[in-house]
Amino acid sequence: MFKKILIANRGEIAVRVIRACREMEIPTVAVYSEADRPSLHVRYADEAFCIGPPPSTESYLAMDKIIEVAKKTQAEAIHPGYGFLAENAAFAGLCEREGITFIGPSSKAMRVTGSKTSARTLAKEVGVPVVPGTTHDLTDEEVAQTAAEMGYPILIKAAGGGGGKGMRIVASDEELTSAIRAARSEASSSFGDPAIYVEKYLQRPRHIEMQILGDKYGDVIYLGERECSIQRRHQKVIEESPSPIITPDLRRRMGEAAVALAKASGYNNAGTMEFLVDQDRSFYFLEVNARLQVEHPVTEMVTGIDLVKEQILIAAGEKLRYRQEDIKLRGAAIECRIYAEDPDNNFMPSPGKIWGLRSPGGPGVRDESGVYEGYEVPLYYDPLISKLVAWGRDREEALERMRRALREYVIQGIKTTIPFHRRVLEDPDFLKGDFDTTFIETRFTERVATGARRHQEVALIAAAIHAYLKEKRAEVPRPQVTAPATGSPWKMAARQDGLRRR
């Protein structure tokens, strides 16, 4: 086993990896930017090194600096978490050349799966259905030609895409030229590659993905699906396992497709094969995520398998510890991504100091947080501050527990998406499992807006009552109150108590 692991990431995911290492008694090294000096991952790791200024290009994406710390501390392996360098084939290759184990797939497998078009080609080769569209990068003329052949709506996508960037839905010829231009420029600025291709835009699909684990000896298994259709701007916000619509037969077919794809690409370690499932329950391969996913805990809760530990064991050269028939899904799990964002103000980032924090707990609740009371959420990075996960014997109990946990969760000082999750978890269609990837955009945004309007009305009424009472009070002579000598709420209570008794 590795004698030391460096975690090339920050926040809640770095903490998650450190926890797995600690259980395995593997010492850890954290790296951090100047903005992250007070971060939880820095406090949790056995050693921590500052690698540069806040911008991630000068810190968390600075490959040479990270390799230098790994060498200096004699870390034998690097866990990239997700985001930053997690799907960077050049970084995986650099680790390989430097004799440091990258905890993830090989750089070769990552190159095959990293481009959406080459992954689509591979899927076709092994007979896995893909979303209709092209499998190679297109010129502007070819995009127009494909659109004419396929019919609108189409979706232009960046070949090197991720995070919903470089993606444009096009409904008609008139929108095409500007959409191509916008997609290409976003693809260039985000991925350094303007290559785009086209997919048919499916109407109201569900996003359902398969978790896989593969070892270095060609053995691959699937660990069930995750339902990730609750999205905002094509980004997941709530995930669950199992999916309310998946039958055992569909699970097996999608699982086998995922395994076939992994095997064909020489994939090892943890990975996710993403699919879209349409209204008649046909599934289409979407893309490979060659890393751990943000939503991995829901799979862990229903399978009982710690995916980070498995990643480490596989990277160290161990054979898979499970056979396909060992994988049994037990109960249901749901995850809410808690972001430092203001849901009543178009999800604007809300960095700042957390001056009050009460985390939920109790049966079936897991709070994967990267913050603490007094911590200041920096503005430089992804605003994900916690993944709140609830498990229950069935979906109903998991939802009950999540609703309860969301009520318990108090974060003061910054805005968070907790109130938004509370609203989704009260939605009758969501509770029935009746939704698709357009759920938030189409129906929910209206309800949120209505909610926000209602808040404004309540605020107005409250202000009017306040003004009225103030005016009334001004008419009546007020008794003299002596201010307490100390601001402590406990001392104040005691003093009032004493006064009453006398």
Q: In what order do the strands lie in the sheet with 206-214?
A: 283-289, 269-277, 206-214, 220-232, 235-241, 332-339, 384-392, 365-369
Helix (H) / strand (E) containing 494: helix 489-501
Tell me how far apart the alpha carbons of residues 316 and 332 are, in angstroms, rounded to a whole number: 31
Tell me how far apart the alpha carbons of residues 37 and 50 are, in angstroms, rounded to a whole number: 8
Between 20 and 147, CB nearer to ligand ADP = 147
Catalytic residue among 291, 337, 395, 401: 291
Between 135 and 359, CB nearer to ligand ADP = 135
| Range list of H helices, 353-488 | 395-408, 418-424, 428-432, 439, 445-475
User: Which parts of this chain interact with ligand ADP (CB under 6 A)?
Assistant: 131, 155, 161-164, 167, 199-202, 205, 207, 231, 234, 274, 276, 286-287, 437
Provide the token pair at 76. 């034998």
- Cα–Cα distances (Å) from 183 to 85, 160, 170, 487, in that order, read 23, 12, 11, 56
Minimum CB distance to ligand ADP, residue 297 (Å): 19
Between 118 and 324, CB nearer to ligand ADP = 118
Minimum CB distance to ligand ADP, residue 133 (Å): 7
Residue 461, classified by CB atoms within 10 Å of its CB into exposed (0-12), middle (13-18) or buried (19+), is exposed
Residue 498, classified by CB atoms within 10 Å of its CB into exposed (0-12), middle (13-18) or buried (19+), is exposed
Tell me how far apart the alpha carbons of residues 487 and 43 are, in angstroms, rounded to a whole number: 31
Minimum CB distance to ligand ADP, residue 210 (Å): 14
Minimum CB distance to ligand ADP, residue 290 (Å): 12
Nearest to 344 by CA among 429, 458, 439: 458
Provide the token pair at 138. 């297109």
Minimum CB distance to ligand ADP, residue 251 (Å): 19
Tell me how far apart the alpha carbons of residues 67 and 96 are, in angstroms, rounded to a whole number: 11
Instruction: Considering only CA atoms, give the Rg of the chain.
Output: 25
Between 46 and 193, CB nearer to ligand ADP = 193
Examine the residue annotation and report whether 281 is marked as an active-site residue of this protein. no
Between 44 and 197, CB nearer to ligand ADP = 197
Between 81 and 161, CB nearer to ligand ADP = 161
Between 78 and 86, CB nearer to ligand ADP = 86
Minimum CB distance to ligand ADP, residue 427 (Å): 18
- Tell the residue number behind the tokens 């569900």, with chain if given: 206
Minimum CB distance to ligand ADP, residue 228 (Å): 7
Using CA atoms in the order 364, 368, 372, 377, what is the torsion angle rounded to 10 degrees? -140
| Catalytic machinery residues | 291
